[in-house]
Amino acid sequence: MNIEFIDTFLDYIRLCAYALVILAVLKGIAHKKFSNLLFVGDLIISTVLVITLIYAHFFRLSAGILDEIILTSGAVAWAIIHFISILREGK
């Protein structure tokens, strides 16, 4: 497969995940409800971003497909946690 296609596909998945998180946060702000689950999701994405930072800058490795996969998996986990919190608020 073409690396540019994979990179674009991972960017699209991350973009969808970020949109889901933004919608969940806006819904929480509108209803003035927040949960500890959202904090866990924020902790996961922060950890993934730090791991990617260490990978890319401290080891002086060039940006490649591995950091894209790490970022995408973290963003998807973050979005899933926010989506679960939306479902729990609905009950």
Report the pLDDT value the prediction gives residue 91, as an integer from 0 to 100: 58
- Look up the domain containing 12 and give its range: 3-90
Report the pLDDT value the prediction gives residue 90, as an integer from 0 to 100: 64
Distance of alpha carbon 76 from alpha carbon 42, whole angstroms = 12
Three-state DSSP class for 1? coil
Nearest Cα to Cα of residue 56 among 71, 67, 46, 45? 67
Report pLDDT digits (tens) over 42-82.
777 777 777 777 776 677 666 667 777 878 888 888 888 88
pLDDT at 87 over 70: yes
* Total domains present in the chain: 1
pTM beyond 0.75: the answer is no
Please give the average per-residue pLDDT across 82-87, as a whole number: 81
